Amino acid sequence: MHPKTKKQILLDMTLIEGHMNVIVDTDEGIIKDVRVQGIDSRYFEKFCEGMAIDDLPKITPRICGLCSASHHVASAMAVDHVYGVEIPPRAKLIRRAINYGIILNNHVIHLIMMGFPDLLLKGKNRSMLKLMTVDKELVQEGMKLVKLGHEAVRVFGGRDIHPVRAMGGGVAKPPTETELKLFKEMLEKHEEVMKKFVKMALDKLASVEDLIKSYPNGNKYFGAVVQGNKSDYYEGKLKIVDQKGNVVKEVDPIDYQKALKEYTFDWTYIKPVTVVDEEYPEGAIRVGPISRINIIDSFGTPWADELLENFRQKFGRYAWDPLLYHEARVIESVHMFEMLKELIEMPEMWEGEYLIDTNGMKNERGVGLTEAPRGILIHDVTATEKDGEVVVKKFNIITPTAVNAAAIENDLKKFLLGKNLKDVEQDLYRMVSSVVRSYDPCMACATHSVSKGPSMVIRIREKGKEVRVIKG
């Protein structure tokens, strides 16, 4: 083929967290391939090697400012497993509340800052500020819920961004009685806010339902953390199903490598993931809100289950099209709100043991598996003892966006491959970005050093003396 017949288009994605390119390859004017490229580089896994294992829950939240609370919880879970302890019920409730708060917060942030501007506005200026001129009340009510989610993280995690309380063996400190009473009052005051926001949000989504339905699903596999057939946004098994809900894999956290396979490529800092028995990208697994609400039978809370039933009446028992992520976020926001209301009423939240002695390393390896706002999050730590201290020997993080990278490609390919570039070029950016943004990718979390790509050396100095060198 003559080189001039080939063309590559590089689309720089905006209205996402971090930086991502989508590469579109054409030949003789026909779209032949689409790839997702991570262009940030973060070296958290390498950076953590040699650190005291107890520092992981404090260090890993710094990987991101949005979903830091989920990293905090996942690391604490991994440390629990290294120490071989079962944390007290009160500590588990507190950790749950941290994670529920950040999911509520992130879902509503996405809807008012990225999702609705993308769906409802035309032209280049698609932002929350522009959305304010179209529907000020939607944004205002949404911001109240964003604050509520952050307040949950602060009350239970000690800080609203980069929380600090979860640690191996439980939590360092529980909320005070005054903090719990004030948060309970805040939940009660936000009941009407949630009702108003949900109605407005669902009405807005109904108004663009034809657009949502125009983007087809390009994936075979979907994953979530579950307890049986019900949702669990803190702990459980990793469950992977196909488009009809048939179980493909269901494994305990420590065995996640029996279900997932990671890849490294020299053209991206993302480490994409597939189901272990299939190759990239055909074996891609989609995770996050739309996968979670399809995999479960029910939430177990009344309002969210009512919304889930309405969703299934409209779109079917299994509804996988990518832009349905937005409605799934609305439904999950309700579930997180209901779960926070349940937790605050439990006696164990108010009193009881919250931290146990870890008594040294019991297992060489620990895995924390939880749900972050965008899907499954895995922290896999291998530990060793050095100079009487348990330290990190090896560390691997698998984030939702890393899992979703290949799934995003497959959805874009399903929609674009075979199309004549002339027919879609004028609207190509909007089409591509609509799919990408529906996943709400978090690129800071998803990026890693790669074996064949760019490298970096970090030199840490103290009082002019080099004390540590970290090579990517």
- Separation in Å, CA 33 to CA 108, 407, 423: 33, 14, 16
- Separation in Å, CA 402 to CA 21, 141, 224, 237, 263: 14, 32, 14, 19, 10
Query: Is residue 45 part of an annotated ligand binding site?
Result: yes
Do the Cβ atoms of 222 and 285 come closer than 8 Å? yes
The radius of gyration of the chain from alpha carbons, rounded to an integer in Å, stands at 22
* Cα–Cα dist 465/472, whole Å: 21
Tokens representing 128 are 């929350």
- Separation in Å, CA 36 to CA 52, 183, 268, 354, 443: 35, 41, 8, 43, 11
At position 119, the amino acid (one-letter code) is: L
Strand partners, 247: 241
Do the Cβ atoms of 378 and 74 come closer than 8 Å? yes
* Cα–Cα dist 342/339, whole Å: 5
Tokens representing 111 are 């809807």
- Residue from 275, 276, 269 nearest 287 by CA: 275
Tokens representing 208 are 């663009």
Residue 218, classed as helix, strand or coil, is coil
Query: Is residue 48 part of an annotated ligand binding site?
Result: no
Query: Is residue 67 part of an annotated ligand binding site?
Result: yes
* Cα–Cα dist 281/265, whole Å: 12
Any idea of the CA torsion for 296, 304, 177, 109, to the nearest 10 degrees?
A: 90
Tokens representing 341 are 């209301």
Residue the block writes with tokens 């009881």: 352
Q: Interhelix angle for 136-157 vs 89-110, to 10°?
A: 160
For 125, counting Cβ atoms within 10 Å of its Cβ (0-12 exposed, 13-18 middle, 19+ buried), the class is: exposed
Any idea of the CA torsion for 340, 346, 351, 353, to the nearest 10 degrees?
A: -80
- Residue from 375, 373, 438 nearest 412 by CA: 438
Tokens representing 302 are 């009344």
DSSP string, 87-125: --HHHHHHHHHHHHHHHHHHHHHHIIIIIHHHHH--SS-
**Which residues are known binding-site members?**
45, 64, 67, 397, 442, 445, 448
**Which residues are known binding-site members for Ni(2+)?**
64, 67, 442
**Which residues are known binding-site members for Fe cation?**
67, 445
**Which residues are known binding-site members for Mg(2+)?**
45, 397, 448
